[in-house]
Amino acid sequence: MEILKKWFVTGIGTGIGKTVVSAVLTEYLKADYWKPVQSGDLKQSDSMTVKNLVSFPVHIHPERYGLHTAVSPHQSAEMDNISMRVRDFELPDTENHLIVEGAGGLFVPLNTSEFMIDLMEKLDLALVVVVQDYLGCINHTMLTLQAVLQRKLHVALIVFNGDFNPWTYTLLRSKIPSNTQVVHLPTIAQINKKHIKACAGNIALTHV
């Protein structure tokens, strides 16, 4: 019997390609997809983007919260007069692989006392950490990995998204535990179904 993979996609920051990576992994596994919190862009949500990028009729589970303003979730929830708590979230019921995409990084606030990392801890899924190259990414990556280690969360996969400065790449690779698999996705000039499928076809994972 195949072991179902349920992964929570997070990143070292905002705007580093988590949705594209989620689409690639959804395509690779032929998985379901779930975005627990969508903050803003409800007419072109991440769920819609993933649905339009994969080559099969993906099962998109509805967001637990669809918030109207493209700001931090805790602010957007308050503006919508919503009280959002980690205890409100439950994994959708599925007999398929599942890709869960978070919002921003680990310490994006859901309210004034709970953060995205608290939701990760509650859902208890293996993490996929997306890393992109920019000035400061080494610092952000190391802080992310330290926080995950402190919470005793399991990182199944680290995705280097796009082109990297070789000095940055070499240093970061040296800090990744040997039992954590690494995927390097090329810069995608045109993000569409063809290129998402091609990226998924080039992934070769073994033990995650």
Residue ranges for the binding site? Answer: 15-20, 39, 46, 101-104, 192
Annotated catalytic residue: which of 35, 51, 175, 194? 35
Beta bridge partners of 182: 158
Compute the half-sphere exposure of residue 10: CA atoms within 13 Å on the CB side of its CA. Answer: 26
Helix (H) or strand (E) holding 127: strand 126-131
Which residue in the block uniquely carries the two structure tokens 């109207």? 68
Q: What CA–CA distance (Å, rounded) separates 44 from 171? A: 37
Please give the annotated binding residues for substrate, written as ranges. Answer: 39
**Six token digits for residue 17:** 């390609």
* 184-193 contacts at long range (C-beta below 8 A, 24 or more positions apart): 184/159, 184/160, 185/17, 185/20, 185/21, 185/24, 185/159, 185/160, 185/161, 186/162, 187/162, 187/163, 188/20, 191/20, 191/53, 192/53, 193/52, 193/53, 193/54, 193/55
Please give the annotated binding residues for ATP, written as ranges. Answer: 15-20, 46, 101-104, 192
Question: Is there a catalytic annotation at residue 30?
Answer: no
The set of catalytic residues is 35
